[in-house]
């Protein structure tokens, strides 16, 4: 699987976990040069508190387009140390 935005590969791995229709890539597959920490946090009732990254490619920013669960709740361990994408990031 590959996550692409604005022509740049953000993550690529044969080891993704699908949860609620989203592919979660290993955090080690994330191309860190294309992300910056975001101040956004949201809460999922069964996964816990999500943190976000802004995706930045060629001077363009896709705010909060990458998320992860630093400390997933019991039952959501499958997303630990993984990242997922939305907001126009193509995952295929």
Instruction: State the CATH number of the domain containing residue 44.
Output: 2.170.150.40
pLDDT in tens, 52-90: 999 999 999 999 999 999 999 999 999 999 999 999 999
For the segment 20-33, the average pLDDT, to the nearest whole number, is 98
pLDDT, the chain, mean: 98
DSSP secondary structure string for all residues of the chain: -EEEETTEEEEE-S--EEETTEEEEEGGGB-GGGEEEEEEEEEETTTEEEEEEEEEETTEEEEEEEEE-SSPPTT-GGGTTEEEE-TT-EE-
Percent of the chain with pLDDT strictly greater than 90:
100
Place 13 in a pLDDT band, splitting at 50, 70 and 90: very high
Provide the number of structural domains found in the chain: 1
| pTM for the whole structure | 0.96
Q: Domain span at residue 29?
A: 2-91
């Amino acid at each position: 699987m590959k996550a692409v935005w604005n022509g740049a590969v953000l993550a690529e791995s044969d080891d993704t976990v699908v949860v609620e229709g989203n592919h979660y890539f290993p955090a080690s597959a994330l191309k860190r040069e294309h992300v910056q920490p975001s101040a956004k946090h949201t809460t999922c009732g069964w996964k816990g508190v999500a943190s976000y990254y802004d995706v930045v490619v060629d001077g363009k920013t896709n705010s909060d387009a990458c998320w992860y669960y630093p400390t997933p709740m019991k039952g959501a361990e499958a997303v630990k140390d993984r990242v997922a994408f939305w907001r126009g990031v193509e995952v295929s």
